[in-house]
Structure 1
Amino acid sequence: MFESVDPSTLFVDDQYQRDIGERGIRQIRKMIEGWDWTKFRAPVCAFETGDDGNEVLKVIDGQHTCIAAASHPNVHRIPVQIVEAPDQQSQASAFIGQNVDRLGVTKLQLHQAALTAGDEHAQDVQNVCERAKVKILLTTPHRYEAGDTVAISAISALVKKHSVLKARQILEVLSNAGLAPIKDAHIKATELLMTDAEFCDQFEPEDLTKEIETAGMLAENEAKVFAATHKVQFWKALASVWFKKTRKKRRAAP
Protein backbone atom coordinates (compact mmCIF):
# COMPACT_ATOMS: atom_id res chain seq x y z
CA MET A 1 0.00 0.00 0.00
CA PHE A 2 1.25 3.49 -0.86
CA GLU A 3 0.27 6.81 0.71
CA SER A 4 1.12 10.42 -0.02
CA VAL A 5 2.53 12.08 3.11
CA ASP A 6 4.22 15.25 4.32
CA PRO A 7 7.90 14.17 4.69
CA SER A 8 8.39 16.47 7.69
CA THR A 9 5.95 14.31 9.69
CA LEU A 10 7.98 11.12 9.27
CA PHE A 11 9.95 9.72 12.22
CA VAL A 12 13.40 8.06 12.09
CA ASP A 13 14.26 5.66 14.94
CA ASP A 14 17.97 5.94 15.79
CA GLN A 15 17.88 2.67 17.75
CA TYR A 16 18.47 0.71 14.55
CA GLN A 17 18.72 3.21 11.70
CA ARG A 18 22.06 4.11 10.20
CA ASP A 19 23.94 7.14 11.52
CA ILE A 20 23.84 9.83 8.83
CA GLY A 21 27.48 10.90 9.11
CA GLU A 22 29.34 13.34 6.87
CA ARG A 23 28.97 11.13 3.80
CA GLY A 24 25.23 10.90 4.35
CA ILE A 25 24.93 14.66 4.75
CA ARG A 26 26.74 15.17 1.44
CA GLN A 27 24.38 12.68 -0.20
CA ILE A 28 21.33 14.50 1.18
CA ARG A 29 22.61 17.87 -0.02
CA LYS A 30 23.20 16.40 -3.48
CA MET A 31 19.65 15.02 -3.55
CA ILE A 32 18.19 18.40 -2.54
CA GLU A 33 20.21 20.33 -5.12
CA GLY A 34 19.40 17.93 -7.96
CA TRP A 35 15.96 16.66 -6.96
CA ASP A 36 14.66 14.41 -9.74
CA TRP A 37 11.30 12.65 -9.46
CA THR A 38 12.33 10.19 -12.20
CA LYS A 39 14.99 8.84 -9.82
CA PHE A 40 12.72 8.86 -6.77
CA ARG A 41 12.40 5.62 -4.81
CA ALA A 42 9.53 5.49 -2.33
CA PRO A 43 10.70 5.08 1.29
CA VAL A 44 9.34 2.14 3.28
CA CYS A 45 7.42 3.14 6.43
CA ALA A 46 5.20 1.63 9.11
CA PHE A 47 2.59 3.07 11.45
CA GLU A 48 3.23 2.82 15.20
CA THR A 49 1.15 4.03 18.13
CA GLY A 50 3.24 6.10 20.53
CA ASP A 51 3.07 6.23 24.33
CA ASP A 52 0.71 9.21 24.06
CA GLY A 53 -1.73 7.18 21.96
CA ASN A 54 -1.00 9.11 18.78
CA GLU A 55 -0.06 7.26 15.60
CA VAL A 56 3.28 8.10 13.96
CA LEU A 57 4.74 6.97 10.65
CA LYS A 58 8.24 5.57 11.14
CA VAL A 59 10.82 5.21 8.38
CA ILE A 60 12.18 1.69 7.93
CA ASP A 61 14.13 2.27 4.73
CA GLY A 62 14.94 5.45 2.82
CA GLN A 63 15.78 7.91 5.58
CA HIS A 64 18.12 9.92 3.32
CA THR A 65 15.29 10.41 0.82
CA CYS A 66 12.89 11.45 3.59
CA ILE A 67 15.33 13.98 5.05
CA ALA A 68 16.10 15.42 1.62
CA ALA A 69 12.39 15.74 0.81
CA ALA A 70 11.63 17.38 4.17
CA SER A 71 14.48 19.85 3.59
CA HIS A 72 13.53 20.71 0.00
CA PRO A 73 11.57 24.00 -0.27
CA ASN A 74 9.43 22.74 -3.17
CA VAL A 75 8.67 19.20 -2.01
CA HIS A 76 5.61 19.12 0.20
CA ARG A 77 4.43 15.53 -0.15
CA ILE A 78 6.02 12.24 -1.19
CA PRO A 79 4.68 8.73 -1.79
CA VAL A 80 5.76 6.13 0.78
CA GLN A 81 5.19 2.39 0.90
CA ILE A 82 3.35 1.29 4.06
CA VAL A 83 4.18 -2.13 5.54
CA GLU A 84 2.83 -3.96 8.59
CA ALA A 85 5.38 -3.48 11.40
CA PRO A 86 3.58 -2.00 14.42
CA ASP A 87 6.44 -2.01 16.96
CA GLN A 88 10.16 -1.27 17.14
CA GLN A 89 11.16 -4.94 17.13
CA SER A 90 9.25 -5.77 13.95
CA GLN A 91 10.45 -2.54 12.32
CA ALA A 92 14.08 -3.45 13.07
CA SER A 93 13.47 -6.90 11.55
CA ALA A 94 12.03 -5.22 8.46
CA PHE A 95 15.07 -2.93 8.28
CA ILE A 96 17.34 -6.00 8.22
CA GLY A 97 15.23 -7.56 5.47
CA GLN A 98 15.45 -4.39 3.38
CA ASN A 99 19.19 -3.89 3.86
CA VAL A 100 20.95 -7.22 4.48
CA ASP A 101 22.26 -7.49 0.89
CA ARG A 102 22.62 -3.77 0.20
CA LEU A 103 26.01 -2.18 -0.34
CA GLY A 104 26.68 0.72 2.02
CA VAL A 105 24.87 -0.84 4.97
CA THR A 106 27.58 -2.01 7.35
CA LYS A 107 27.72 -5.14 9.50
CA LEU A 108 27.71 -2.84 12.53
CA GLN A 109 24.42 -1.26 11.46
CA LEU A 110 22.85 -4.66 10.80
CA HIS A 111 24.06 -5.85 14.22
CA GLN A 112 22.42 -2.87 15.90
CA ALA A 113 19.19 -3.55 14.03
CA ALA A 114 19.32 -7.26 14.93
CA LEU A 115 19.86 -6.30 18.57
CA THR A 116 16.80 -4.05 18.50
CA ALA A 117 14.83 -6.83 16.78
CA GLY A 118 15.61 -9.17 19.69
CA ASP A 119 17.90 -11.51 17.74
CA GLU A 120 19.38 -14.08 20.15
CA HIS A 121 22.82 -14.23 18.54
CA ALA A 122 23.13 -10.44 18.43
CA GLN A 123 22.25 -10.33 22.12
CA ASP A 124 24.89 -12.99 22.89
CA VAL A 125 27.48 -10.92 21.02
CA GLN A 126 26.49 -7.79 22.93
CA ASN A 127 26.56 -9.56 26.31
CA VAL A 128 29.95 -11.15 25.63
CA CYS A 129 31.43 -7.76 24.69
CA GLU A 130 29.95 -5.98 27.70
CA ARG A 131 31.31 -8.60 30.11
CA ALA A 132 34.71 -8.50 28.43
CA LYS A 133 34.69 -4.68 28.59
CA VAL A 134 34.76 -4.38 24.81
CA LYS A 135 32.75 -1.53 23.30
CA ILE A 136 31.20 -2.06 19.86
CA LEU A 137 31.19 1.25 17.99
CA LEU A 138 28.62 2.03 15.31
CA THR A 139 30.84 4.54 13.52
CA THR A 140 34.57 5.17 13.22
CA PRO A 141 35.64 7.81 15.78
CA HIS A 142 38.39 10.39 15.42
CA ARG A 143 40.22 8.67 18.27
CA TYR A 144 39.81 5.16 19.66
CA GLU A 145 39.73 4.38 23.36
CA ALA A 146 41.03 1.16 24.93
CA GLY A 147 38.59 -1.68 24.32
CA ASP A 148 36.87 -0.04 21.35
CA THR A 149 36.16 -2.18 18.29
CA VAL A 150 34.37 -2.18 14.96
CA ALA A 151 35.33 -5.82 14.28
CA ILE A 152 31.76 -7.09 14.57
CA SER A 153 32.18 -9.85 11.96
CA ALA A 154 35.14 -11.39 13.79
CA ILE A 155 33.35 -11.20 17.15
CA SER A 156 30.15 -12.65 15.70
CA ALA A 157 32.10 -15.57 14.23
CA LEU A 158 33.88 -16.06 17.57
CA VAL A 159 30.61 -16.32 19.49
CA LYS A 160 29.12 -18.71 16.91
CA LYS A 161 32.16 -20.99 17.00
CA HIS A 162 32.75 -21.15 20.75
CA SER A 163 30.80 -20.90 23.99
CA VAL A 164 29.97 -17.42 25.25
CA LEU A 165 32.40 -18.03 28.13
CA LYS A 166 35.31 -18.91 25.84
CA ALA A 167 34.50 -15.97 23.55
CA ARG A 168 34.50 -13.65 26.56
CA GLN A 169 37.85 -15.02 27.79
CA ILE A 170 39.42 -14.43 24.38
CA LEU A 171 38.14 -10.85 24.21
CA GLU A 172 39.22 -10.18 27.81
CA VAL A 173 42.83 -10.94 26.87
CA LEU A 174 42.65 -8.12 24.34
CA SER A 175 40.62 -5.60 26.34
CA ASN A 176 42.90 -6.07 29.36
CA ALA A 177 45.87 -5.33 27.10
CA GLY A 178 44.38 -1.90 26.38
CA LEU A 179 44.27 -2.27 22.60
CA ALA A 180 42.67 0.70 20.86
CA PRO A 181 41.04 -0.49 18.73
CA ILE A 182 40.67 -4.26 18.93
CA LYS A 183 40.97 -5.40 15.30
CA ASP A 184 39.95 -8.52 13.38
CA ALA A 185 43.54 -9.77 13.29
CA HIS A 186 43.89 -9.38 17.08
CA ILE A 187 40.76 -11.45 17.65
CA LYS A 188 41.72 -14.22 15.21
CA ALA A 189 45.28 -14.43 16.55
CA THR A 190 44.12 -14.64 20.16
CA GLU A 191 41.44 -17.18 19.27
CA LEU A 192 44.09 -19.42 17.70
CA LEU A 193 46.37 -19.21 20.73
CA MET A 194 43.55 -19.70 23.24
CA THR A 195 41.85 -22.65 21.52
CA ASP A 196 44.39 -24.58 19.45
CA ALA A 197 45.82 -27.60 21.29
CA GLU A 198 49.31 -26.73 20.06
CA PHE A 199 49.34 -23.47 22.04
CA CYS A 200 46.53 -23.10 24.59
CA ASP A 201 48.01 -25.22 27.41
CA GLN A 202 51.43 -23.56 27.35
CA PHE A 203 50.58 -20.17 28.89
CA GLU A 204 48.18 -18.33 31.17
CA PRO A 205 45.81 -15.79 29.56
CA GLU A 206 47.21 -13.08 31.86
CA ASP A 207 50.70 -13.64 30.46
CA LEU A 208 49.45 -13.36 26.88
CA THR A 209 47.79 -10.07 27.84
CA LYS A 210 51.09 -8.81 29.29
CA GLU A 211 52.97 -9.68 26.10
CA ILE A 212 50.38 -8.00 23.86
CA GLU A 213 50.45 -4.87 26.02
CA THR A 214 54.25 -4.78 26.21
CA ALA A 215 54.96 -5.53 22.55
CA GLY A 216 52.47 -3.03 21.15
CA MET A 217 53.03 -2.06 17.52
CA LEU A 218 56.47 -3.71 17.45
CA ALA A 219 54.78 -7.11 17.39
CA GLU A 220 52.52 -6.04 14.53
CA ASN A 221 55.47 -4.72 12.52
CA GLU A 222 57.35 -7.97 13.10
CA ALA A 223 54.26 -9.94 12.09
CA LYS A 224 54.01 -8.04 8.80
CA VAL A 225 57.57 -9.07 7.93
CA PHE A 226 56.90 -12.66 9.09
CA ALA A 227 53.73 -12.85 6.99
CA ALA A 228 55.49 -11.60 3.87
CA THR A 229 58.51 -13.86 4.37
CA HIS A 230 56.59 -17.05 5.15
CA LYS A 231 53.58 -16.27 2.94
CA VAL A 232 51.01 -16.70 5.71
CA GLN A 233 48.04 -14.57 6.74
CA PHE A 234 48.87 -11.59 8.94
CA TRP A 235 46.80 -12.77 11.90
CA LYS A 236 48.59 -16.14 11.93
CA ALA A 237 51.92 -14.35 11.84
CA LEU A 238 50.80 -12.11 14.70
CA ALA A 239 49.79 -15.16 16.74
CA SER A 240 53.24 -16.64 16.15
CA VAL A 241 55.01 -13.44 17.24
CA TRP A 242 52.89 -13.07 20.38
CA PHE A 243 53.25 -16.74 21.33
CA LYS A 244 57.03 -16.77 20.90
CA LYS A 245 57.53 -14.08 23.56
CA THR A 246 54.70 -14.97 25.94
CA ARG A 247 55.83 -16.43 29.26
CA LYS A 248 55.30 -20.19 29.26
CA LYS A 249 54.05 -22.39 32.07
CA ARG A 250 56.62 -24.41 33.96
CA ARG A 251 56.56 -28.02 33.01
CA ALA A 252 56.13 -30.53 35.82
CA ALA A 253 59.20 -32.61 36.58
CA PRO A 254 59.02 -36.12 35.06
Structure 2
Amino acid sequence: MEALREIDVSDFAGVSWAGQPGPAPQVQWIEVASLRIDDRYQRPISQRGKMQVRRIAERFRWSRFAPLIVAPIEGGLYAVIDGQHRGHAARLRGIKSVPCMVVIVDTAEQAEAFAEINTQQLAVTGAVLHKSRVVAGEHKAVQLQAVCDEAGCRIVTPRAQSELKRGDTFAAATLYKMMESYSEGTLQRALEAIIQVGDGNVGLVRANVVSAYCGLFEGRQDLRDHPGLIDALDDFDLQEAFVSMQRSQLNRGQHRWRLLADEVEAFLGRKLRLPRAAA
Protein backbone atom coordinates (compact mmCIF):
# COMPACT_ATOMS: atom_id res chain seq x y z
CA MET A 1 0.00 0.00 0.00
CA GLU A 2 3.02 2.31 0.30
CA ALA A 3 2.93 2.95 -3.48
CA LEU A 4 -0.66 4.23 -3.30
CA ARG A 5 -1.31 7.93 -2.68
CA GLU A 6 -4.52 9.85 -2.33
CA ILE A 7 -5.46 12.86 -4.46
CA ASP A 8 -3.92 15.68 -2.46
CA VAL A 9 -4.18 19.32 -3.61
CA SER A 10 -2.88 20.96 -0.44
CA ASP A 11 0.17 22.36 -2.23
CA PHE A 12 -1.83 24.18 -4.95
CA ALA A 13 -2.00 27.83 -3.97
CA GLY A 14 -3.50 30.89 -5.69
CA VAL A 15 -5.83 28.99 -8.04
CA SER A 16 -8.54 31.17 -9.64
CA TRP A 17 -11.62 29.79 -11.40
CA ALA A 18 -12.25 30.85 -15.02
CA GLY A 19 -15.97 30.11 -14.77
CA GLN A 20 -18.60 27.59 -13.72
CA PRO A 21 -18.15 23.90 -14.65
CA GLY A 22 -21.40 23.79 -16.61
CA PRO A 23 -24.01 21.01 -16.54
CA ALA A 24 -22.76 17.69 -15.20
CA PRO A 25 -22.15 15.17 -18.00
CA GLN A 26 -23.81 11.79 -18.32
CA VAL A 27 -21.92 8.59 -19.01
CA GLN A 28 -23.63 6.31 -21.54
CA TRP A 29 -22.86 3.52 -23.94
CA ILE A 30 -23.40 4.84 -27.47
CA GLU A 31 -23.37 2.95 -30.75
CA VAL A 32 -20.27 3.71 -32.83
CA ALA A 33 -22.55 4.06 -35.86
CA SER A 34 -24.15 7.11 -34.19
CA LEU A 35 -20.86 8.97 -33.75
CA ARG A 36 -19.88 11.77 -36.12
CA ILE A 37 -16.64 13.73 -36.68
CA ASP A 38 -17.17 17.47 -37.22
CA ASP A 39 -14.48 18.53 -39.71
CA ARG A 40 -15.03 22.18 -38.86
CA TYR A 41 -12.83 21.73 -35.79
CA GLN A 42 -11.58 18.14 -35.81
CA ARG A 43 -8.29 17.22 -37.45
CA PRO A 44 -8.15 14.57 -40.20
CA ILE A 45 -6.53 11.27 -39.29
CA SER A 46 -2.95 11.38 -40.60
CA GLN A 47 -0.80 8.41 -41.55
CA ARG A 48 0.64 8.47 -38.04
CA GLY A 49 -2.91 8.62 -36.70
CA LYS A 50 -3.87 5.59 -38.76
CA MET A 51 -0.98 3.70 -37.20
CA GLN A 52 -2.30 4.69 -33.79
CA VAL A 53 -5.82 3.50 -34.70
CA ARG A 54 -4.42 0.18 -35.92
CA ARG A 55 -2.36 -0.23 -32.74
CA ILE A 56 -5.36 0.45 -30.48
CA ALA A 57 -7.52 -2.00 -32.45
CA GLU A 58 -4.92 -4.75 -32.53
CA ARG A 59 -4.25 -4.50 -28.79
CA PHE A 60 -7.78 -3.59 -27.74
CA ARG A 61 -8.55 -4.02 -24.05
CA TRP A 62 -11.29 -2.20 -22.17
CA SER A 63 -8.79 -1.48 -19.37
CA ARG A 64 -6.91 0.72 -21.87
CA PHE A 65 -9.94 2.41 -23.42
CA ALA A 66 -10.90 5.83 -22.06
CA PRO A 67 -14.49 7.02 -22.65
CA LEU A 68 -15.02 9.38 -25.57
CA ILE A 69 -16.29 12.90 -24.93
CA VAL A 70 -19.27 13.61 -27.19
CA ALA A 71 -22.06 16.13 -27.63
CA PRO A 72 -25.59 15.36 -28.90
CA ILE A 73 -26.44 16.80 -32.33
CA GLU A 74 -29.43 16.62 -34.67
CA GLY A 75 -30.87 13.29 -35.75
CA GLY A 76 -30.03 11.39 -32.56
CA LEU A 77 -26.32 11.52 -33.42
CA TYR A 78 -23.28 12.57 -31.37
CA ALA A 79 -20.32 14.73 -32.33
CA VAL A 80 -17.00 13.41 -31.04
CA ILE A 81 -15.12 16.12 -29.16
CA ASP A 82 -12.31 13.87 -27.91
CA GLY A 83 -11.50 10.29 -28.84
CA GLN A 84 -11.95 9.96 -32.61
CA HIS A 85 -8.92 7.64 -32.83
CA ARG A 86 -10.41 5.38 -30.15
CA GLY A 87 -13.76 5.49 -31.92
CA HIS A 88 -12.20 4.46 -35.23
CA ALA A 89 -10.26 1.68 -33.51
CA ALA A 90 -13.42 0.35 -31.86
CA ARG A 91 -15.21 0.25 -35.22
CA LEU A 92 -12.18 -1.43 -36.83
CA ARG A 93 -12.28 -4.04 -34.08
CA GLY A 94 -16.00 -4.62 -34.71
CA ILE A 95 -17.20 -3.20 -31.40
CA LYS A 96 -20.76 -1.90 -31.63
CA SER A 97 -20.98 0.48 -28.64
CA VAL A 98 -18.44 2.45 -26.62
CA PRO A 99 -18.60 4.33 -23.31
CA CYS A 100 -19.02 8.07 -23.76
CA MET A 101 -19.20 11.11 -21.53
CA VAL A 102 -22.06 13.18 -22.96
CA VAL A 103 -21.88 16.96 -22.53
CA ILE A 104 -24.61 19.34 -23.61
CA VAL A 105 -22.74 22.08 -25.52
CA ASP A 106 -23.14 23.88 -28.84
CA THR A 107 -20.73 23.65 -31.77
CA ALA A 108 -18.66 26.65 -30.63
CA GLU A 109 -18.05 25.12 -27.21
CA GLN A 110 -17.36 21.73 -28.78
CA ALA A 111 -14.54 23.32 -30.77
CA GLU A 112 -13.30 25.20 -27.72
CA ALA A 113 -13.33 22.00 -25.66
CA PHE A 114 -11.45 20.14 -28.41
CA ALA A 115 -8.72 22.79 -28.44
CA GLU A 116 -8.50 22.95 -24.65
CA ILE A 117 -8.32 19.17 -24.19
CA ASN A 118 -5.55 18.82 -26.75
CA THR A 119 -3.65 21.77 -25.26
CA GLN A 120 -3.87 20.39 -21.74
CA GLN A 121 -2.68 16.89 -22.56
CA LEU A 122 0.68 16.08 -21.01
CA ALA A 123 2.98 13.90 -23.08
CA VAL A 124 3.92 10.73 -21.22
CA THR A 125 7.69 10.72 -20.86
CA GLY A 126 9.95 7.81 -21.70
CA ALA A 127 10.75 7.34 -18.02
CA VAL A 128 7.09 7.00 -17.08
CA LEU A 129 6.40 4.59 -19.95
CA HIS A 130 9.43 2.50 -18.99
CA LYS A 131 8.31 2.36 -15.36
CA SER A 132 4.82 1.23 -16.35
CA ARG A 133 6.22 -1.41 -18.70
CA VAL A 134 8.42 -2.81 -15.95
CA VAL A 135 5.44 -3.03 -13.57
CA ALA A 136 3.44 -4.72 -16.36
CA GLY A 137 6.23 -7.30 -16.70
CA GLU A 138 7.08 -6.57 -20.35
CA HIS A 139 10.10 -8.70 -21.19
CA LYS A 140 12.21 -6.02 -22.89
CA ALA A 141 11.51 -3.48 -20.16
CA VAL A 142 12.44 -5.95 -17.41
CA GLN A 143 15.64 -6.84 -19.29
CA LEU A 144 16.57 -3.18 -19.72
CA GLN A 145 15.86 -2.45 -16.07
CA ALA A 146 18.17 -5.29 -15.04
CA VAL A 147 20.95 -3.90 -17.24
CA CYS A 148 20.44 -0.40 -15.81
CA ASP A 149 20.47 -1.70 -12.24
CA GLU A 150 23.75 -3.54 -12.82
CA ALA A 151 25.36 -0.50 -14.42
CA GLY A 152 24.06 2.02 -11.89
CA CYS A 153 21.85 3.79 -14.43
CA ARG A 154 18.47 5.36 -13.60
CA ILE A 155 15.92 6.43 -16.24
CA VAL A 156 14.40 9.69 -14.99
CA THR A 157 11.85 12.24 -16.13
CA PRO A 158 13.19 15.46 -17.70
CA ARG A 159 14.61 17.91 -15.18
CA ALA A 160 17.27 20.60 -14.91
CA GLN A 161 20.84 19.43 -15.49
CA SER A 162 21.70 20.74 -12.02
CA GLU A 163 19.25 18.25 -10.50
CA LEU A 164 20.79 15.19 -12.13
CA LYS A 165 22.74 12.65 -10.12
CA ARG A 166 25.29 10.03 -11.14
CA GLY A 167 23.72 7.59 -13.57
CA ASP A 168 20.58 9.61 -14.33
CA THR A 169 19.43 9.66 -17.96
CA PHE A 170 16.49 10.94 -20.00
CA ALA A 171 17.44 8.69 -22.94
CA ALA A 172 14.93 5.88 -22.43
CA ALA A 173 14.19 5.55 -26.16
CA THR A 174 17.91 5.26 -26.96
CA LEU A 175 18.43 2.57 -24.33
CA TYR A 176 15.60 0.52 -25.83
CA LYS A 177 17.14 1.01 -29.28
CA MET A 178 20.55 -0.13 -28.01
CA MET A 179 18.90 -3.24 -26.52
CA GLU A 180 17.56 -4.04 -29.99
CA SER A 181 20.83 -3.32 -31.81
CA TYR A 182 23.46 -4.69 -29.44
CA SER A 183 23.92 -7.34 -26.80
CA GLU A 184 22.91 -6.71 -23.20
CA GLY A 185 26.57 -7.09 -22.21
CA THR A 186 27.61 -4.35 -24.61
CA LEU A 187 24.93 -1.95 -23.35
CA GLN A 188 25.77 -2.64 -19.72
CA ARG A 189 29.48 -2.12 -20.31
CA ALA A 190 28.78 1.09 -22.22
CA LEU A 191 26.76 2.46 -19.32
CA GLU A 192 29.41 1.40 -16.82
CA ALA A 193 32.10 3.10 -18.92
CA ILE A 194 30.17 6.36 -18.67
CA ILE A 195 28.84 6.18 -15.12
CA GLN A 196 31.47 4.31 -13.12
CA VAL A 197 34.49 6.46 -13.97
CA GLY A 198 35.78 9.65 -12.36
CA ASP A 199 32.96 11.82 -11.02
CA GLY A 200 30.36 9.76 -12.87
CA ASN A 201 30.01 12.02 -15.91
CA VAL A 202 26.78 13.41 -14.48
CA GLY A 203 24.45 14.59 -17.23
CA LEU A 204 26.32 12.73 -19.99
CA VAL A 205 24.30 9.52 -20.20
CA ARG A 206 22.92 10.92 -23.44
CA ALA A 207 21.79 9.41 -26.70
CA ASN A 208 24.93 10.12 -28.74
CA VAL A 209 27.25 9.16 -25.89
CA VAL A 210 25.54 5.82 -25.23
CA SER A 211 25.41 5.16 -28.98
CA ALA A 212 29.14 5.90 -29.29
CA TYR A 213 30.17 3.54 -26.51
CA CYS A 214 27.83 0.76 -27.68
CA GLY A 215 28.98 1.09 -31.29
CA LEU A 216 32.62 0.99 -30.21
CA PHE A 217 32.35 -1.90 -27.77
CA GLU A 218 30.29 -4.12 -30.07
CA GLY A 219 33.10 -4.00 -32.63
CA ARG A 220 35.99 -3.87 -30.15
CA GLN A 221 35.27 -6.50 -27.54
CA ASP A 222 38.94 -6.41 -26.60
CA LEU A 223 38.27 -2.90 -25.31
CA ARG A 224 34.89 -3.75 -23.82
CA ASP A 225 36.23 -6.70 -21.82
CA HIS A 226 39.61 -5.26 -20.91
CA PRO A 227 40.12 -5.40 -17.11
CA GLY A 228 41.72 -1.96 -17.13
CA LEU A 229 38.91 -0.23 -19.05
CA ILE A 230 37.29 1.69 -16.18
CA ASP A 231 40.62 2.78 -14.69
CA ALA A 232 41.81 3.95 -18.11
CA LEU A 233 38.66 6.00 -18.70
CA ASP A 234 39.20 7.83 -15.41
CA ASP A 235 41.65 9.98 -17.39
CA PHE A 236 39.33 10.59 -20.35
CA ASP A 237 37.58 13.96 -20.39
CA LEU A 238 34.17 12.91 -21.70
CA GLN A 239 32.69 16.38 -21.21
CA GLU A 240 35.33 17.94 -23.45
CA ALA A 241 34.99 15.18 -26.03
CA PHE A 242 31.19 15.57 -26.01
CA VAL A 243 31.40 19.32 -26.63
CA SER A 244 33.91 18.73 -29.43
CA MET A 245 31.58 16.17 -31.02
CA GLN A 246 28.63 18.56 -30.84
CA ARG A 247 30.60 21.34 -32.55
CA SER A 248 32.10 19.21 -35.30
CA GLN A 249 30.97 19.46 -38.91
CA LEU A 250 29.59 16.21 -40.29
CA ASN A 251 30.21 14.75 -43.71
CA ARG A 252 27.25 13.42 -45.66
CA GLY A 253 26.05 10.15 -44.16
CA GLN A 254 28.24 10.48 -41.08
CA HIS A 255 26.80 9.85 -37.62
CA ARG A 256 27.76 12.32 -34.91
CA TRP A 257 28.20 9.56 -32.32
CA ARG A 258 30.83 7.95 -34.54
CA LEU A 259 33.12 10.96 -33.98
CA LEU A 260 33.03 10.34 -30.25
CA ALA A 261 33.46 6.58 -30.70
CA ASP A 262 36.61 7.17 -32.76
CA GLU A 263 38.03 9.52 -30.12
CA VAL A 264 37.35 7.05 -27.29
CA GLU A 265 38.88 4.22 -29.32
CA ALA A 266 42.03 6.23 -30.03
CA PHE A 267 42.36 7.21 -26.36
CA LEU A 268 41.92 3.65 -25.10
CA GLY A 269 44.34 2.33 -27.70
CA ARG A 270 47.01 4.65 -26.38
CA LYS A 271 46.19 4.15 -22.73
CA LEU A 272 45.88 0.37 -22.85
CA ARG A 273 48.52 0.00 -25.57
CA LEU A 274 46.18 -1.87 -27.87
CA PRO A 275 46.29 -1.62 -31.68
CA ARG A 276 43.48 0.22 -33.45
CA ALA A 277 41.05 -2.06 -35.29
CA ALA A 278 41.63 -2.41 -39.03
CA ALA A 279 39.29 -0.28 -41.12
Amino-acid identity (%): 18
- Paired with 2:194 and 2:222, the residues of 1 have a C-alpha distance of 18
Matched, 1:176 2:196: yes
Please point out which of 205, 209, 212 is paired with 1:189: 212
| SS of structure 1 residue aligned to 2:212 | helix
Matched, 1:166 2:189: no
Which whole-Å deviations, capped at 9, do the CAs of 1:151-175 have from their partners, x for residues lacking one? 1111112223333333222211111
- Paired with 2:133 and 2:26, the residues of 1 have a C-alpha distance of 25
What is the count of residue pairs matched by the alignment? 174
- Residue 210 of structure 1: aligned partner: 232
Which whole-Å deviations, capped at 9, do the CAs of 1:79-115 have from their partners, x for residues lacking one? xx69xxxxxxxxxxxxxxxxxxx87122221111111
Which whole-Å deviations, capped at 9, do the CAs of 1:7-63 have from their partners, x for residues lacking one? xxxxx957xxxxx9xxxx89xx68x5356559x898xxxxxxxxxxxxxxxx9898x
* Higher RCO structure, 1 or 2 (CA under 8 Å, sep 6+): 1
Matched, 1:123 2:142: yes
| SS of structure 1 residue aligned to 2:157 | coil
* Counterpart residue type for residue 127 of structure 2: L
Which whole-Å deviations, capped at 9, do the CAs of 1:216-245 have from their partners, x for residues lacking one? 32112222343x154533212111222222
Asked if the contact 1:138–1:150 (Cα under 8 Å) also holds between the matched residues in 2, the reply is yes
Asked if the contact 1:173–1:209 (Cα under 8 Å) also holds between the matched residues in 2, the reply is no
Residues 170 and 121 of structure 1: CA distance in aligned 2, closer, same or farther (over 3 Å): same
| SS of structure 2 residue aligned to 1:158 | helix
- Paired with 1:139 and 1:13, the residues of 2 have a C-alpha distance of 23
- TM-score, length of structure 2 as denominator length: 0.50
Larger radius of gyration: 2
Residues 159 and 13 of structure 1: CA distance in aligned 2, closer, same or farther (over 3 Å): farther
Please point out which of 149, 171, 175 is paired with 2:169: 149
- TM-score, length of structure 1 as denominator length: 0.54
Matched, 1:140 2:162: no
* Counterpart residue type for residue 150 of structure 1: F
- List alignment gaps of at least 5 residues for structure 2: 28-62, 67-98, 101-120
- Paired with 2:223 and 2:234, the residues of 1 have a C-alpha distance of 16
- List alignment gaps of at least 5 residues for structure 1: 1-11, 15-19, 43-58, 63-80, 83-101
Asked if the contact 1:132–1:171 (Cα under 8 Å) also holds between the matched residues in 2, the reply is yes
